[in-house]
Amino acid sequence: MTGAGTGRGANQPQPHGSAYEEHFHAAPSGHLVLAADGTILEVNQTLAAWTGRSREALLGSNVTDLMPVGDRVVFASYAVSQLAVSGCFNEMAAELLSVNGEPVPVLLSGVRSEDSDGTSVDRIAAFKAAKRTLYERELVEALRKAEAAEAARAAAEEELRHKQAAIVEKDRILQANLVESREREALLASVLDAVDVGLLVVDPDGNTLLSNAHLLSNWRRAMGDIPITAKGQSVLGPDRVTLVDDADSPAQRAAAGESFSDQLVWFGTGEHELALNVSARPIKTEGSFSGSVLAFSDVTKLVRAKAAQDEFVASVSHELRTPLTSIMGYLDLALDEDGLPPQVESALNVALRNSERLLALVSDLLSVASGATKMDRRPMDLAEIVRAGVESVEPKADAGRVELVSDIPASLTADVDPQRMSQVVDNLLSNAVKYSPDGGTVTVRLWQDAQAVHLRVEDTGIGMSIAEQEKVFTKFFRARRAVASAVPGVGLGLVITKNIVEAHGGKLSFISSPGQGSEFTVSLPLNAVNAEEISPAR
């Protein structure tokens, strides 16, 4: 430091080499002596080093040259005016620009004093403020974090509000669904109670989940307070005699997941007995069995009426047979008389033929109405029986211009009731001829394979529609065309035929197509089961 020639007395830095000067230059703070216009009159080594410049380079330059624009403005407006007004300023934060452009953050304080010659100088002290800035930065950082946290909290609050609104909306929807499901439940309950069938829903353990009023009232009338699903109660089969095993009772079958239709069972006894026709369907929830719905129709009256009808038919047929047999006997006797006038003989023959038809009809009625009939099976030549059947239908076939084709072996022995089997052959052949009103061909085949003996009667007649085929084994059923074209018959032949075949342990099957013809096949297994009786037609 020179200071020489400045003549500044007590305010002047001490002469070079003095302890004061050493202290001045080596102080940890920066020091400047400025003229009133900011010209640097003196600067210590420390500050010069901060800026990366030499003291000599700094002397004579303006202090504001060391500051960025913003700080220059603040220095001019704050520090300079404070010095002018109060002679000092404190802790102005500023930056000094180093030679390579790096800012050096500092805190500046200054005092103004007058030289002995009356010129004023400003003494400025600069303290490095890097730490303080860092601290401020941290503060700002912390402030930002706090602001961010506050923003996050506000966002979370907003989200919470949204969620709460969503919950409120869900709650509203749930309430609405609840109301709707209650309405549905009420509707379902009304429908269940209004329908004319009993309905029962059981879980896989057979416990009742739901039942309707119709079922309950019918059931209570017959069975009192016993639950319909209770095990161990006596359930009778369609014949009203055979006890149905627990596992085969409708409720247990349904609980086991079985799907079935039309199981006829009887409950109760005497005037309280109840015939129920039961169907069941399993309930699947997401693919697994979760219970079953059972529908019960009360068919007690219907079954009783049917039984009464059968009884009536049986007794009327029985009553008719006796006088009819007597009439036929007397007609035979009369026809045996010699020398009858031809017209009388022909009239008697007509009467006898019609009586025979009537007797056949009465026998058919009896056969389906009177229940089990004993079979008399023995080894017989079935080929012979079939040939006889073909022969007896020949006149009718000729009259209807139907060609009969036989494919029958010379002999084929089977364990059959000969009379009953003749009836089967006659029924099938006479149907085939009857229902070929425009002529055609009827083919009869008889053969045997490893399992069974087969008899097939095939015609090229009117055939049957699908709806007719479904009813063909129903008593008294006759197709509309059969009735319309006045083909004689009462709709019992096939019922009887089927019963006889089944009583032999065999099967009667058919295929038919309208306008093309039909084909009926009887198959009698060689090791025929001992189904000895013809059961009453269902």
Residue from the set 87, 227, 491, 536 that interacts with ligand ADP by CB under 6 A: 491
Backbone angles phi, psi at 507, to 5 degrees: -135, 140
- Cβ closest to ligand ADP, residue 132 vs residue 454: 454
Please report how close the Cβ of residue 473 comes to ligand ADP at its closest, in angstroms.
Answer: 8
Please report how close the Cβ of residue 474 comes to ligand ADP at its closest, in angstroms.
Answer: 8
Please name the amino acid found at residue 325.
T
Residue from the set 268, 291, 489, 506 that interacts with ligand ADP by CB under 6 A: 489
- Cβ closest to ligand ADP, residue 494 vs residue 501: 494
Only one residue has tokens 């909290």, namely 153
Site string for ligand ADP, 389-428 (x = CB under 6 A): --------------------------------------x-
Q: What is the DSSP letter of 375?
A: -
Distances, alpha carbon 452 to alpha carbons 339, 408, 423, 462, 530, in Å:
54, 15, 20, 29, 15
Please report how close the Cβ of residue 420 comes to ligand ADP at its closest, in angstroms.
Answer: 16
- Cβ closest to ligand ADP, residue 277 vs residue 367: 367
- 96, with CB counted inside 10 A (0-12, 13-18, 19+), is buried
Site string for ligand ADP, 235-254 (x = CB under 6 A): --------------------
Residue from the set 211, 212, 431, 499 that interacts with ligand ADP by CB under 6 A: 431
Distances, alpha carbon 449 to alpha carbons 226, 380, 424, 529, in Å:
54, 17, 20, 17
Q: In the chain, helix, strand, coil percent, each to 5?
A: 45, 25, 25
Does position 78 interact with ligand ADP (CB under 6 A)? The reply is: no
Does position 433 interact with ligand ADP (CB under 6 A)? The reply is: no
Cβ atoms within 10 Å of 243's Cβ, excluding its own = 11
CA distance linking residue 207 with residue 498, whole number of Å: 41
Interface stretch with ligand ADP, choices 65-73, 272-280, 325-333, 458-466 (CB under 6 A): 458-466
**Which two three-digit tokens encode residue 449?**
């394979």
Please report how close the Cβ of residue 316 comes to ligand ADP at its closest, in angstroms.
Answer: 18
3-state secondary structure of 193: helix
Only one residue has tokens 């161990």, namely 232
Please name the amino acid found at residue 401.
R
Cβ atoms within 10 Å of 206's Cβ, excluding its own = 18
Residue from the set 463, 501, 505, 521 that interacts with ligand ADP by CB under 6 A: 463
CA distance linking residue 365 with residue 81, whole number of Å: 139
- Cβ closest to ligand ADP, residue 202 vs residue 472: 472
- Chain residues 106-145 in contact with ligand ADP, contact rule CB under 6 A: none
Does position 291 interact with ligand ADP (CB under 6 A)? The reply is: no
Using CB under 6 A, list all residues that contact ligand ADP. Answer: 427, 431-432, 435, 459, 461-464, 472, 477-479, 482, 489-495, 518
